[in-house]
Amino acid sequence: MGLLFGLVCVFALFAPSCLGAPLLQVERGDVTLHQGEKLQDDVVLAAKYIERFYSFQTGPPGHRKRSHPSFSSKLKDMQSFFRLNQTGSLNTETLAVMKMPRCGVPDIQEYVYNRGNRWKKNEISYSIGKYTSDLPRNTVDSLIGAALDVWAKASPLRFFRSSSQQADIMVEFGSKYHGDNYPFDGPKGTLAHAFDPGEGIGGDVHFDEDELWTADSRGFNLYLVAAHEFGHALGLKHSQNPQSLMYPTYRNRQSQNMLSSEDIRNINALYGPSVTAPYYPRLSWNYPFNSWYTGFYYPRAVKDKCDPDLSFDSVTNVGPSIFFFKDRYLWIKKNKNDIKEGPISSFIPKINSTIDAAYWLPNSNTFLFSGSSYWTVNFTRMTGWRKEITSFGFPASVDHIDAAVHIPNTGHTLFFTQDQYWRYNEILETMESNPHMISDDFPGIKTPISAAVYKHGFLHFFVGPEVYKYDVMVRKVIRIKKANSWLGC
């Protein structure tokens, strides 16, 4: 059945070769180029590239059928697609593009397999079979789910995880000959490939296990490659727009707002526009195929960190970094030029809920609160089971925490709830029996408090879209700024 489907995508890296200064012209059939170092490598690279992506029919020199387009005309097609000068001959600029990491679907619409093919439903199952050894399984699960969410948020599509080997989209890692007649070629070559929507192998996505898969800018970012591949698995073809996720070449890009307006128009043309949907909670394990839904709904505000009305649910130091939580989204700031962002589950895979409050205990764990319970995390790794906040000594009347902050020089952690705050002794692990009024001890601070951070001897209270710098020695507010100024806005 697999041979009935066109191989949609193969990310390919061709072995680089040196380009020397032009010395003399060499002709090989229809090929005319300037000779330099490793000329033969460039000829082979160009011939394979045009054959693979522009359907150039190669054969013995002088024996090409008259009905077949020439190499020069096919090269012009390639140059046209990438908006290069259409010279019809190889040059430094054209060869440089040929050596870029890229996806292997033919670039000209005429050669795209099953153009306009789509799933005939909006709920699509997926399953992860063989995993990579480069990343923890829960990280792979999270990155694959986040890559599908890219398309779920822009369309009416919903994806659910399945344990079935007959899921619509099968995701697997393999090397060399891995069962689909399209073998991988080892490190620094083919990265991944996918198939058009349909039965059997249709919609499946495979990744080359011989590559280095990461969740950041080292090696190849699994989230970025998977998001592109899933676009093909849903029926999309390549774009000529370099800002589009469906542009052929692999490139690092912002993890937020992954899709261009063109990507959104194209997915909507196949499946219709996005609908505002509630978050699908984790379902019981007897729901079809032991599944859970992706396609979480993120409010529009988190898409723009510089929205003047942006507020945070919680903020905390974690070592030298600062974590900012908003709905199910997270920014991690190490310095003003190093900010990572994405769904919370992309960084802490076992958490799929909002974080109401958070604080870090130096040289220990981070505590994340949601409703009447909390988790302990060591940077981004879960270190314990979900527990109830009553274990801190809160009375049953306290059903959530608005904000929390640890004061290192006193050993106390302050918990803010509505217009009151509680003081917890981390050394003795005891809670003071009665709360205090915020207005009495922190005059000038509005309530409820969204988040609190202790930094450089000052308390910083986040209240809605503003942050108050508070001098505890003189008990007064000394500065008010926009909350997102901490993200460089």
Q: Which of 51, 229, 388, 466 is catalytic?
A: 229
For the chain, state the CA radius of gyration: 27
Query: What CA–CA distance (Å, rounded) separates 161 from 352?
Result: 15
Q: What angle do CA 367, 371, 372 make, to 5 degrees?
A: 80
The answer to whether 440 is annotated as binding is no
Of 52, 409, 128, 113, give the one whose Cα is nearest residue 294.
128
DSSP alpha helices (H): ranges in 155-239? 222-233
- The one-letter amino acid at 369: F
185 annotated to bind ligand? yes
309 is in an annotated binding site: no
179 is in an annotated binding site: no
* Residue 142, H or E segment: helix 137-152
Contact 6, 203 (CB under 8 A): no
Residues 6 or more apart whose Cβ sits within 8 Å of residue 360: 316, 317, 318, 319, 366, 367, 406
Q: 135: which residues sit within 8 A by CB, 6+ positions away?
A: 143, 213, 214, 215, 222
489 among annotated binding-site residues: no
C-alpha dihedral sign at 56, 59, 65, 66: positive
Q: Quote the CA–CA distance of 88 and 72 in Å, as a whole number.
A: 5
Sheet of strand 314-318, all strands in order from the earlier edge strand to the far edge? 314-318, 321-326, 329-335, 338-343
Q: Is 356 annotated as a binding residue?
A: yes
**327 assigned binding-site residue:** no
Q: Is 206 known as a binding-site position?
A: yes
- CB-based contacts of 71: which residues, under 8 Å, 6+ apart? 29, 30, 31, 47, 50, 56
Ligand-binding annotation for 63, yes or no, is no
The response to whether 313 counts as a known ligand-binding position is yes
Q: Is 20 annotated in some ligand binding site? A: no
Give 230-290 as a DSSP string: HHHHTT----S-TTSTTSSB-----SSS-S-HHHHHHHHHHH---------PPPPTTSTTT
Strands 458-463 and 436-437: unpaired
A 10 A CB-CB count for 368 gives 26
Residue type, 30: D
Q: Is 167 annotated as a binding residue?
A: no
- Is 211 assigned to a binding site? yes
193 is in an annotated binding site: yes
Judge whether 419 is annotated as a binding position.
no
Q: Is 202 annotated as a binding residue?
A: yes
Query: Is 107 assigned a ligand-binding role in the annotation?
Result: no
Contacts 24+ apart (CB under 8 A), 381-385: 382/348, 382/350, 382/351
Whether 388 is catalytic: no
> Terminal CA-to-CA distance of the chain, rounded, Å?
53
Sequence ranges of the binding site for Zn(2+): 103, 178, 180, 193, 206, 228, 232, 238, 246
Sequence ranges of the binding site: 103, 134, 168, 178, 180, 185-186, 193, 202, 204, 206, 208, 211, 228, 232, 238, 246, 313, 356, 358, 404
Residues annotated as part of the active site: 229
Sequence ranges of the binding site for Ca(2+): 134, 168, 185-186, 202, 204, 208, 211, 313, 356, 358, 404
